[in-house]
Amino acid sequence: MTSEPDVVLVAKRVVLPGVGAFANAMQALQERNLVPAIQALAKQGTPLLGICLGMQLLLDESEEFVVTRGLGLIPGRVVPLAMQATSGASQKVPHIGWSGLVPAEEGADWQGTLLQDNGSGEAAYFLHSFMAVPADPRHRLADCIYGGRRVSAAIARDHITGCQFHPEKSGEVGLRILRRFCAD
Amino acid sequence: MRNVRLIARLDIKGPNLIKGIHLEGLRIIGSPAEHALRYYKQGVDELLYMDNVASLYGRNHLGDLLRLAANNIFVPMTVGGGIRSVDDATLILRAGADKVAINTAAVSNPKLITDIACRFGSQCVVLSIEAKQIAPQRWEVYTDNGRERTGLDVIDWVKHGTSMGAGEILLTSVDREGTRKGFDIDLVRTVTAEVSVPVIASGGMGRAEDCVVVARDGDADAVAMADILHYKRATIGEIRAHAKAAGLGVRDYE
């Protein structure tokens, strides 16, 4: 664990975790001068894994409380989860619990991604009130279904991956993703 | 369809896992770490640790237990008992907890809910409510493991607590706790109808079917269980299989 830009820049792999509110997190990264360091990782090709809020930070901006700029590493926005299911019933927000991961595009497989050791339908643990909406569908890796709607569960662009769920809290399913991230 | 979460509740006193009836008359069950690991291996969806004497002495002692658990348990952990300040919550979260449950301190200072939510997000703050029935369709909020009455009405408190930023409700029926008589369905249904945040039903799980009933008829989002697991009357796997066979949405777990 570090909050030093110099350490981040020379790391072999970087995990960007995150709990809390988007604006606070961006402010904390700015205060520690970590924004340019993380953006440099993208150019360097260092594998980067954003988890939960850390995934949302990868996008351009978020609507949480006030519209706030993100890291801009994956084009798109962060918007609130719908308060109503497609059935019309009210739905619980935050989304807390285990939901199955499915390929974002039907028939797509996860070969060559951090999810390549995982199968469609395997459940991971989610805890969030906002969701990422990548502008480019090619950056959508996996979805979960919540209230009848697809919600971005994992997004990826080159060596940058974001997981809305918590792989570190998703039992063996999550550990497989983390082992893949740590593998050469 | 949402998946109902199966949560193992571990009440802790000092070094021991304990279990009582109506949150009192505590019996020692064994090692918290061993039981937590067993439930993880059985496929539990979450763990809930409650430090039972923390509130009495004003501090939570679960840090060491959490740090140990974080090495070999990879499901979410919620911790409650004796959390009185943002600093207390910070220590517990740093030690590896994902959420903190607050009861006594929230009753005496509801702003604590907002303060923790602002710092770590609402999804981190579980409002723990100990409810005792006082009249038909009326329940009073208790604190300190069902010992102290507050004069607060459960429904009023649930609404207030969620408006202050609580992201989840842990609803324990003191009347049913440890009795194996099934959940207080009226209580759970009344609360779930009032709030938009998830509600964990706790207190009274005697058999796997109770879990199905409280999810179906009480609209509970999660079910906390202790006695049935601690006394090995059923495994998480058996409860999950029963729930699935009854048509309940549960996490797929191989």
Q: If you search the block for the tokens 């499901």, which residue do you land on?
A: B75
What residue numbers bound the domain in which A139 lies? 5-182
Number of domains in chain A: 1
Q: Is B117 on the interface with A (CB under 8 A)?
A: no
Provide ipTM, 2 decimals. Answer: 0.87
Residues of chain A contacting B76 with CB distance shorter than 8 Å: 125, 127, 166, 169
Chain mean pLDDT for chain A: 93
pLDDT of B197:
93
| Cα(B102)–Cα(B127) distance, integer angstroms | 5
Q: If you search the block for the tokens 């440890």, which residue do you land on?
A: B178
Active-site residue among B45, B46, B130, B184? B130
Confidence of residue A117 (pLDDT cuts 50, 70, 90): very high
Q: Which two tokens stand for residue B165?
A: 């930023």
- How close A76 comes to chain B (CA, Å)? 22
A149-157 vs A140-146, strand pairing mode = antiparallel
Picking from A92, A120, A128, A175 by the largest number of B CB atoms within 10 A of its own CB, the best residue to mutate is A92
pLDDT of B89:
94
Options 2.60.40.10, 3.20.20.70, 3.50.50.60, 2.160.10.10; which CATH number does B5-245 get? 3.20.20.70
Active-site residue among B11, B51, B221, B227? B11
pLDDT of B120:
86
Are B171 and B191 in contact, with CB atoms under 8 Å apart?
yes
Are B72 and B37 in contact, with CB atoms under 8 Å apart?
yes
Q: Which two tokens stand for residue A35?
A: 């924004």
pLDDT of A159:
95
Residues of chain B contacting A128 with CB distance shorter than 8 Å: 123
The CATH number linked to A67 is: 3.40.50.880
Residue A140: beta bridge partners?
A155
Helix (H) or strand (E) segment spanning residue A6: helix A5-10
Confidence of residue A157 (pLDDT cuts 50, 70, 90): very high
Number of neighbouring beta carbons within 10 Å of residue B211: 30
Q: Is A129 on the interface with B (CB under 8 A)?
A: yes
| Cα(B198)–Cα(B176) distance, integer angstroms | 20
Q: What is the pLDDT of residues A51-79, one digit of tens each?
A: 999 999 999 999 987 899 999 999 999 99
Number of neighbouring beta carbons within 10 Å of residue B2: 19
3-state secondary structure of A63: coil
Q: Secondary structure of chain B in the HEC alphabet?
A: CCCCEEEEEEEEECCEEEEEECCEEEEEEECHHHHHHHHHHCCCCEEEEEECCHHHHCCCCCHHHHHHHHHHCCCCEEEECCCCCHHHHHHHHHCCCCEEEECHHHHHCCHHHHHHHHHHCHHHEEEEEEEEEEECCEEEEEECCCCEEEEEEHHHHHHHHHHCCCCEEEEEECCCCCCCCCCCHHHHHHHHHHCCCCEEEECCCCCHHHHHHHHHCCCCCEEEECHHHHCCCCCHHHHHHHHHHCCCCCCCCC
pLDDT of A184:
67
Taking phi over 0 as left and psi of -120 to 50 as alpha, with beta for the rest, A47 belongs to beta
3-state secondary structure of A144: strand
pLDDT of A178:
97
Are B150 and B140 in contact, with CB atoms under 8 Å apart?
yes
Picking from A83, A98, A120, A127 by the largest number of B CB atoms within 10 A of its own CB, the best residue to mutate is A98
Residues contacting residue B133 through CB under 8 Å, at least 6 positions apart = B139, B173, B175, B184, B187
Number of neighbouring beta carbons within 10 Å of residue B77: 24
The series of mean pLDDT values per 10 residues for chain B, 254 residues long, is 91 91 88 96 97 66 85 95 92 91 96 92 93 97 92 98 96 96 98 95 97 97 97 97 96 84
pTM (two decimals): 0.92
Question: What phi, psi does B50 have (nearest 5°)?
Answer: -120, 115
Across the interface, whether the CB atoms of B75 and A171 are under 8 A apart is answered: yes
Q: Which two tokens stand for residue B128?
A: 């723990």
Question: What phi, psi does B209 have (nearest 5°)?
Answer: -60, -30
Across the interface, whether the CB atoms of A168 and B74 are under 8 A apart is answered: yes
